Amino acid sequence: MDNKPELNYDQKLSYKSQWWRYFGEYQYLVNLVFKSLKGSEITNVALPLAFLIRHTLEIGYKTDLLELQKVSGVTAKIEYKGKSAHKIDDLHREFEIQMRAVFKKYNAEKRLVKEFDDLNSKLVSLKRLIHKLDELSYAFRYPVANDGSTLNFNTMDEKDRSDVLNFKEIKGLYDDSLKLIKYSTDVAQEIIEAYNKANGSKAS
């Protein structure tokens, strides 16, 4: 007998309109998929899972940029339309600019900067892997580019591994990278509080 609780099918989407909520739900789904996969099942979900990972990064970057610019003194460049809106290499560059600005403005401890650099190296590796295969957020969603005819992946030679995603590698990088994206604003707040305490004032 199935004693599983009934699903809560009705979801009020207007209650979910915050950036952090979008990020959290995509992250939750990626984790749920990885936990549920067995054996060769990943063969059947590789493309949507790759998209979910990519989109989680994109939403995470944008969520952080919107918060970090409030304290960094630097306006983040975030595109919401056109091809540039989905380029995670651009978003990552903006993310680094924001974090470096926070480090400089609030005299961050070398320990925290080093911790950022260590995790950021994992995030850079993941970003490069994803960006190489899906620069504009088309390739994981559609079989053809936005011209309607050019195949996104068309290297049938088995020896050509330019289109191969190793999900074991991706999972390791993703887990480390999400620590940075998820907690970067907390780290910024820690840096600001330490600065305020050392200077006996409230930083703007």
pLDDT (tens digit per residue) in 74-128:
999 999 999 889 999 999 999 999 999 999 999 999 999 999 999 999 999 999 9
pLDDT band of residue 1 (cuts 50, 70, 90) is low
- Hunting for tokens 């559609």 — which residue is that? 142
Residue 77: count of CB within 10 angstroms of its CB: 13
Does an H or E element contain 163, and which?
Answer: none
pTM: 0.93
**pLDDT of 2:** 65
